[in-house]
Structure 1
Amino acid sequence: MSKIVIIEYGAGNLFSVRVAIERLGYEVVCSADPRVVREADKVIFPGVGQAAAAMRQLKESGMDRVIPELKVPVLGICLGMQLMCAYSEEGETEGLGIFPMRVEEFGRCGKVPHMGWNEIRGLKSGLFDGVVEGEMVYFVHSYCVPVGEYSIATCDYQIAFSAAIRKGNFWGCQFHPEKSAGVGEKIIENFLKM
């Protein structure tokens, strides 16, 4: 059985992510210990809250150095995905630099936050095996990653943006798969089977 670790750094929605994984029949550990994270077979990097505060917490725990060095599959969720990028306009925050992308403010385009169910399209990668174009997933965010070469799913909310990204062994979902019912469960299962 895979050793699945959720990174615990004070800015994650750990409970619902943990429950979603356990519901699929997997055991999971939540940890802030770099050694435990390094020994994992799969890593989930969730996040809610403000980018600059979350990066401070990652630096305090040493996770800012651990995460980019991981060679196993890593899934960033919401703020976790954004922190894997090079820079966020939220608090003018330097990210982990795994994805050479900027996280931009939605607010210039209209109403924020983008909150609720919306369609995902342009699905690429095994993360979306068995998921149909136009499926609805759950979003809560005020910042977004523009569509680019690493986009593996897109969404439209006033503008088109990256609903999911991938580079090597790193995947990111702007939406919350753990709150996206059966579709989200399928996406989590696909990740855990990689």
Structure 2
Amino acid sequence: MSEKLSAMTTKPTLILNKPYGVLSCFTDELRRPTLAEYISVPDVYAAGRLDLDSEGLLLLTADGMLAHRLTDPEHKLPKVYLVQVERIPDATALDQLRNGVVIRGRTTRPAHIQLLEEPPNFWDRPVPIRFRKSVPTSWLEMTITEGMNRQIRRMTAAVGNPTLRIIRIAIGGLKLGDLMPGEYREVTKDEMKTLFTGF
């Protein structure tokens, strides 16, 4: 394992704070914003993805084995998101999210769900969240170990609390930290170890 880790840490691996409205790729036929506008390191590509309208931690690497570990559902790598939703989920809704909801005929894996008492302090989004005076919003911390298409949005919608904003703050032991949208940094050796030796 140490030889494999040593070999992998020589290849470029980056943490990017992906901005809202940016695709998790380097080219787009429709000329929408892509990673090419933010990443100058050659030969890296996104390991996994964030939707166009999601923000936060995106890992980029030149290492195919690392990318496989990050995206293979068998590894059940935890991913942590802060999620703004419409209304305040009640105990029943929170339990449903924790135990699994049915999305397109498939039940999601158990998830760690926490209703935050105070909203987190984040940067403003370039496209403001829709505001309805009669509908309050709240924030959840959601940790999931799978990556179904638009999973979080479908999970919260299934329990009656549509998602307004998603920010990924961690993948395994890798944390977004204080990176601002569009900023990136290299992953450290200690951080890399958390991806191969547990958390």
TM-score > 0.5 by shorter chain? no
Choose between structure 1 and 2 for higher RCO, CA contacts under 8 A separated by at least 6 residues.
Answer: 2
From the two aligned structures, give the one with the greater strand fraction. Answer: 1
Higher helix share: 1
In our comparison, the structure showing a higher alpha carbon Rg is 2
Taking structure 1 as the reference length, the TM-score comes to 0.31
- Report the TM-score when normalising by structure 2: 0.30
